[in-house]
Copies of this chain bind each other. A is one copy, B any other.
Amino acid sequence: MPTKAVIISIGDEILYGQTLDTNAHWISGELNKAGIQVEKRYTIGDRREEILSTLKEAEERAKIILITGGLGPTSDDLTKPCLLEYFDTYLVRNESVLNHIIELFTTRGREVTEVNKAQADIPANGKAVPNILGTAPGVWIEENGKVFVSMPGVPYEMQQMMTDTVIPQLREKYVKGELLHRMIRTIGIPESALANMIREWETNLPKAIKLAYLPTKGSVKLRLTAKREDEDHFQTQKLIQEEINKVLPTIEKYVYGFDDEEIEEAIGRMLLESKMSLSTAESCTGGYLSHKITSVPGSSQWYEGGFIPYSNKFKNEQLRVPLEMLEEHGAVSKPVVLVLAENVRKAFNTSIGVSISGIAGPTGGTEEKPVGTVWIGYSDQRKTVAKKFLFTKDRLINIHYTAMAALDMIRINLTKD
């Protein structure tokens, strides 16, 4: 069993929804990597009773209690007074911390007030955790076989303290065994259909491996987790890989990558490997597809550029879609996306051209072509094809789904080649 930790985030601004708590998220990831299991997270306000009762709850639940926030110099910062009350102890001024604070203020040309000096006061039963980047030190307290660490809420100060001091000391003290994760990333199949498809494999998974479905808009990730005990790192990796190999043939056509790779990164990798290039002509997505593609560092190596022919005039003048075609079939039609895909490919002289035309909504739908109707075109040297989709009534979701479907269409055609 890995050692358990809980995280307590303190701050009214978090509970009011004004500050997004990225600290607890960051700490969770770091503890997980270090092989410490986060059991529960609490977010509470700057209130004495709440802090005290949550310390009690936390202590009953885990060996390690990490606290962020409420360590500033002002009267609404209650973490230190509460620690004193909780452990029935008193403050002792820490000389080394005091010197650090005085140095920090004098190099910035500011006067050191009594309030600033008081930040060097540490509970008598604990020790200071150095805060190189700020004035409020962390506090490390060991009592009844538990470790309490209190850190400032300023993200970069907390991260430096965690990385340099807290994580190394926790690892040394508590970590036997480590959690290993692998991720299989799929696209173009809903969670429930995927679950049906792999039910037998899932049922027969070794007990040491835990499976999780992580759905996001247009994509479902399968996460396999196993715990490594002692020096068995390689064995555990092998165990997970064997299970991945078993399930892959069943779902291969939906798998675009593994672990951290997003679909737009996978497309980039595939294009780069096959020395191919891409251009886009997108109407209803208005640049979102090219934004996804160019969010990947280095994308200028495979992406030449794109048109956003929002008006029919532009579709005709810049991409030579015949006016009669636009009139006869409408802009959201198979013939139009076929011409767009082929002509954008030729205009940029790229291996692949992709085109999009649809009705994002909320207005503009007809009975024949309701909101959410989208045509996507794909053209390479050998063929030009198109596919029709029907998404939702919501404009932003349609834009997102369409871009994902276009990326998937590129992937499928690249895989076929």
List the interface of chain A (C-beta within 8 A of B): 12-22, 24-32, 38-46, 50, 54, 57, 72-76, 107-110, 113, 115-116, 133, 135, 154, 156, 179, 181, 190-193, 195-196, 202, 211-217, 223, 280, 282, 285-291, 293-295, 297-300, 303-311, 313-314, 318, 347-348, 360-363, 390, 392, 394-397, 399
Contact = CB atoms under 8 A, between A and B. Distances in A.
Contacts of A22: 20
A17 B21 contact: no
B21 A25 contact: yes
Contact of A287 (B32, B190, B213, B291): B291
Contacts of A135: 192
A393 to B, nearest CB: 8
A335 to B, nearest CB: 20
27 contacts: A16-B28, A16-B32, A17-B26, A17-B28, A17-B31, A20-B22, A39-B50, A40-B43, A40-B45, A41-B43, A72-B213, A73-B195, A74-B213, A110-B190, A110-B193, A115-B192, A285-B291, A286-B290, A286-B293, A286-B299, A295-B395, A297-B362, A304-B313, A305-B309, A306-B308, A308-B308, A311-B348
B314 A304 contact: yes
A22 B27 CA distance: 16
A43 B217 CA distance: 22
Contact of A14 (B28, B113, B195, B395): B28
B17 A390 contact: no
Contact of A311 (B39, B196, B304, B307): B304
A114 to B, nearest CB: 9
Contact of A295 (B18, B74, B362, B396): B396
A72 B305 contact: no
B40 A399 contact: no
Nearest to A213: B74
A25 B32 contact: no
A361 B195 contact: no
B40 A44 contact: yes
B12 A212 contact: yes
Contact of A286 (B41, B294, B307): B294
Contact of A297 (B26, B28, B46, B361): B361
Contacts of A223: 13, 18
A309 B318 CA distance: 14
A223 B309 CA distance: 38
B72 A215 contact: yes
Nearest to A43: B41
Given A133-B397, A285-B291, 15 more contacts: A16-B179, A17-B30, A40-B45, A40-B50, A40-B54, A41-B41, A41-B43, A42-B42, A76-B212, A280-B308, A282-B287, A287-B288, A300-B311, A304-B311, A306-B308
Interface residue SS majority, chain A = mixed
Contacts of A313: 304
Contact of A115 (B40, B74, B196, B308): B196
A35 to B, nearest CB: 12
B13 A195 contact: no
Contacts of A196: 113, 115
Contact of A17 (B29, B191, B392): B29
B307 A294 contact: no
B14 A18 contact: no
Contacts of A311: 300, 304-305, 348
Contacts of A73: 191-192, 195
A342 to B, nearest CB: 17
